[in-house]
Structure 1
């Protein structure tokens, strides 16, 4: 009797082992069918408590399909050393929680890695783990009896950690005979766009209390323009994902909270790093060291530019207007013409003196200095005392008069034009710094941060010089409201460091065409960059944000909002006829010449007096 019982138990055990092997072999085929259908990574990381024969069968199936396999066990220290994308195949009852926690630590629990997990229905019901929305976690449960088994495939996820239970996406069914039936391929950004009213926390930087009053009505476009367009776009994103917008308002980005390891604790940077917000609502520059914390998503500002803007001063501020009408070659030609005509006239005067022309009329013979004064009088359109008496002399004089008239007319016309012109010599930071203009900077927290201290994002040489000598002041640093700064640009010669779109709006609203035409810009001290919206590097919503912004761009919503939120650069329509009063700056060279002449005359007078006294005393003795 005992031998019969032992034989029966052996038979049952052999049947169980055989059935278990058959089941695991079926699961191997199921895994390969999922990989082919879902187009998942062909490197398989298995965490299975199967017997060796079943595992070998799985490995053979993987190899036959040009795949590779890696076994995971508790002795594996880190999944972060695995630099590939994997299809993770695991048994829910085989150290799964350790695998899950290790994968989360090493950033392995994300798409496009695909997780295929086997288990009993009650085991999945008791699963308390957070499966983010960006993870393709395929739950496989057995249905039917042993003789007619099939498997149900479902994708599990949660929209947030506090969600009760799991949201299930049915994928289809699989059986050893029929294979995959009613399979629905999962594309996360297409199949999981309904977040069920999930609160989406958005952190904004708002500098003006009135900005939220006009955040969607396209008014006051110069105020917090880095935030307003994002508020509108993120409202559309919330509609696309069916989320509830939760606004977090900050005064700055949190630059001053930066730690030694480039970690931030305050502002929108701190909100994103410490999971107080899901996405930023204000743009940020993109230095490389922030990539360890942030994922940059979208750049709403097509033409984000920061520059120094100023009205170009008149030419008289930097140049001698009386020298500018002609270039050097023309001046040399005029001098050569005057010398040549002077020599000819002197030759005529000498010939006429030999013929007694001047003695007959009781006039002194012209000397060399008289000829020089005659040439100066002709050039200046003045009368002159001596004049040739012969026909040849009159012809030479007539030629000089005609030439001088044309030169004088061209000179005067050019002077009038130059009086209305502005200088174009200020083209870089060096010439701007030396231009003797007052300086100011738009009062933004990022401007205060980058101007007041050294940074790898600025031209340190010019940052230090401009800040120490132009911005810093005992009465307070010259960080001005954008309206105040642009008013100073309009009404005086003032260089203002401002964002382009804010400046464009105020220029269009408050500047006349003549003031607009005199505007010039010089590059900023900042290094070239394109600011982006950003979220946490490991956020489960990264792909959903990227696809949502792409949809807004492709459908034209973004372009429409961009045109409404920002003002195009105003165009100069050409200068009209304007009255220009001539001041001391314009006449500076005239006064210098006049003063120099007076000083020289007095000096010569003194020399003549001394010489006369010396000669008189010498005669007396």
Structure 2
């Protein structure tokens, strides 16, 4: 043994006779060497089953001329699961015959496959050098998937049949099962399934739902779910086979709800030019009427030549209302005709822009903070993950949104899918749900004009969901590689396009009739209130001055 350690050291290989782990990052480079002819070989093999599996490797030596049948039988009883890299080298003279031992199923028999032989030069006789290729046949061993059903119990009937019916219910579970079923077929495994109504959250030290099924051994893998730090203590996340997203979906509020549309038709320079035009028109009308008074005298239908009447006439022309008093001379009338004609074109352009702006959506809500500070009603789909996910966030903005959904006083804003999508269609309503289910319902019920202002905001900022597998499952690497092959072959993309519905596209922006409410005319109403208030105050001042 000492000579062996010296030779290993000379070749740069560290060795030790102490069975002690130093660092988990070195596990893949660790090889256990056991000689069955040693008296304590049984004790060396009597270790935890985790050490007999990947990433650890084993090389067990045995002398055929001193064969101990007890030791050989003992090897066949070891928990050498399908991911074990356990090599038995039997010496016969100067030649070593190497074979691999593993069990395709946890309770099945142990199989021996030739690895090669060594007689001065190693000859590899493996059918394939890739570990996955040699172990991809689990020989019909049953593998169980835990499927999360939350929308409808009818999914328990449609999911195993893969009939693509009622895809609006539990699309994530159905798509995940399609991928996993293909993976089971590639591994020659017997597919089995169970159902759960929760993804799995830890409360009072106990897991619930799908994660509990994995932790207790009822299932080998589960439906695609979002990775979290607490779940990593129980499961390992392999690959993303059903890339769903959970977001707030809403229609952008009308522009009149967030801006004063009566100031938007013209730019600042145009407004300045209009003011200057009104001032110039007022001054020219004042000069014309003043000259008429001096030459013709006053009359009841003639402007009296003061600046107030000139201003009133110009404002009347600006608003296309007209005035009962007008100039009598041809020069004044030509001037008045020019003012009315020019301001008529301006009035028509302004009115047309107002009509367009009344129907235009805004683009003001793009972030979570803007959504939280808006006047929109914020709600969520009535499923368990929304209650856990929304409550778990401690960020001030996200906590504010959670308080709007679940206020301390009042009714919680949780709705069914159909009711939530209908409220989104009516406007000023943000709905937190899996996007696929919402978009599928929108494609069925929305008009083309109602699809053009759909917006989404991410609340979780999470990575793509992944397939959870029991942390100590011997089939972890096989499933991981199989999912990669499904992705690389294009099967995953084909199934995704077949099942999922993307965000509705606005193919044609068709103008639709929309009624105008008081909220659209809020600036006008405020202006009228100010005007009425000012007129009443002026009236009171005039009465007071008259009595004095």
Q: Does 1:450 align with 2:389?
A: yes
* Cα distance in structure 2, aligned partners of 1:192 and 1:397: 96
Question: Cα 1:141–1:359, aligned 2, differ >3 Å: closer, same or farther?
Answer: closer
Deviation at 1:571, TM superposition (A): 0.8
Q: What is the aligned counterpart of 1:421 among 327, 335, 360?
A: 360
Deviation at 1:157, TM superposition (A): 0.6
Question: Does the residue aligned with 2:297 lie in a helix, a strand or coil?
Answer: helix
1:397 aligns to what? 336
Q: Is the 8 A contact 1:78 1:102 kept in 2?
A: no
Residues 12-71 of structure 1, C-alpha deviations (whole Å, 9 max, x = no match): xxxxxxxxxxxxxxxxxxxxxxxxxxxxxxxxxxxxxx5x45x36xx43x456x441302
Residues 354-410 of structure 1, C-alpha deviations (whole Å, 9 max, x = no match): 3x2334999563211101100111101122244445555445434322321121010
Deviation at 1:292, TM superposition (A): 4.0
Q: Does 1:199 align with 2:129?
A: no
Describe how 1:496-535 pairs up with structure 2 within 5 A: 496-524=431-459, 526-535=460-469
* Cα distance in structure 2, aligned partners of 1:101 and 1:403: 101
Q: What is the aligned counterpart of 1:368 among 307, 317, 320?
A: 307
Q: Is the 8 A contact 2:439 2:504 kept in 1?
A: yes
Question: Cα 1:584–1:424, aligned 2, differ >3 Å: closer, same or farther?
Answer: same
Residues 521-565 of structure 1, C-alpha deviations (whole Å, 9 max, x = no match): 2332x1332210021333221221111112212222212211111
Q: Does 1:214 align with 2:158?
A: yes
2:173 aligns to what? 227
1:34 aligns to what? none
1:571 aligns to what? 505
2:74 aligns to what? 126
Q: What is the aligned counterpart of 2:54 among 111, 123, 141?
A: 111
Question: Cα 1:369–1:193, aligned 2, differ >3 Å: closer, same or farther?
Answer: same
Q: Is the 8 A contact 2:9 2:15 kept in 1?
A: no
Q: What is the aligned counterpart of 2:292 among 337, 349, 352?
A: 352
Q: Is the 8 A contact 2:439 2:501 kept in 1?
A: yes
Q: Is the 8 A contact 1:201 1:245 kept in 2?
A: yes
Question: Cα 1:98–1:344, aligned 2, differ >3 Å: closer, same or farther?
Answer: farther
1:159 aligns to what? 104
* Cα distance in structure 2, aligned partners of 1:349 and 1:226: 79
Q: Is the 8 A contact 1:202 1:246 kept in 2?
A: yes
* Cα distance in structure 2, aligned partners of 1:538 and 1:417: 63
Deviation at 1:349, TM superposition (A): 2.6
Q: Is the 8 A contact 1:173 1:183 kept in 2?
A: no
Q: Does 1:301 align with 2:242?
A: yes
CA RMSD, Structure 1 to Structure 2 (Å): 2.8
Q: Is the 8 A contact 1:111 1:134 kept in 2?
A: yes
* Cα distance in structure 2, aligned partners of 1:112 and 1:186: 17
* Cα distance in structure 1, aligned partners of 2:498 and 2:299: 89
Question: Does the residue aligned with 1:71 lie in a helix, a strand or coil?
Answer: coil
Deviation at 1:310, TM superposition (A): 1.8
Larger radius of gyration: 1
Residues 557-604 of structure 1, C-alpha deviations (whole Å, 9 max, x = no match): 212211111012221123323223333333344444444444443443
Q: Is the 8 A contact 2:59 2:86 kept in 1?
A: yes
* Cα distance in structure 1, aligned partners of 2:483 and 2:406: 39
Q: What is the aligned counterpart of 2:516 among 574, 577, 582?
A: 582
* Cα distance in structure 1, aligned partners of 2:190 and 2:126: 32
Question: Cα 1:361–1:295, aligned 2, differ >3 Å: closer, same or farther?
Answer: closer
1:90 aligns to what? 34
| 515-524 or 336-345, larger mean C-alpha shift | 515-524
Q: Is the 8 A contact 1:230 1:300 kept in 2?
A: yes
Question: Cα 1:360–1:412, aligned 2, differ >3 Å: closer, same or farther?
Answer: closer
Question: Does the residue aligned with 2:14 lie in a helix, a strand or coil?
Answer: strand
Question: Does the residue aligned with 1:497 lie in a helix, a strand or coil?
Answer: strand
Q: Using structure 2 for the length normalisation, give the TM-score.
A: 0.89
* Cα distance in structure 2, aligned partners of 1:268 and 1:100: 35
Describe how 1:35-434 pairs up with structure 2 within 5 A: 50=1, 52-53=2-3, 55=4, 59-60=6-7, 62=8, 66-73=11-18, 76-78=19-21, 80=23, 83-84=26-27, 85-94=29-38, 95-102=40-47, 104=49, 108-119=51-62, 120=67, 122=69, 123-127=71-75, 128-143=77-92, 150-164=95-109, 166-175=110-119, 180=123, 182=125, 184=127, 186-207=129-150, 208-215=152-159, 216-257=162-203, 259=205, 264-280=206-222, 282-302=223-243, 304-354=244-294, 356-359=295-298, 363=302, 365-390=304-329, 392-434=331-373
Question: Does the residue aligned with 2:262 lie in a helix, a strand or coil?
Answer: coil
Question: Cα 1:288–1:226, aligned 2, differ >3 Å: closer, same or farther?
Answer: same
Question: Does the residue aligned with 1:397 lie in a helix, a strand or coil?
Answer: helix
Q: Is the 8 A contact 1:504 1:569 kept in 2?
A: yes
* Cα distance in structure 1, aligned partners of 2:68 and 2:438: 63
Question: Cα 1:405–1:90, aligned 2, differ >3 Å: closer, same or farther?
Answer: same
Deviation at 1:99, TM superposition (A): 3.2
Q: Does 1:541 align with 2:541?
A: no
Question: Does the residue aligned with 1:298 lie in a helix, a strand or coil?
Answer: coil
* Cα distance in structure 2, aligned partners of 1:188 and 1:497: 44
Q: Using structure 1 for the length normalisation, give the TM-score.
A: 0.79
Residues 58-96 of structure 1, C-alpha deviations (whole Å, 9 max, x = no match): x43x456x44130224xx444557825123321124333
* Cα distance in structure 1, aligned partners of 2:301 and 2:101: 123
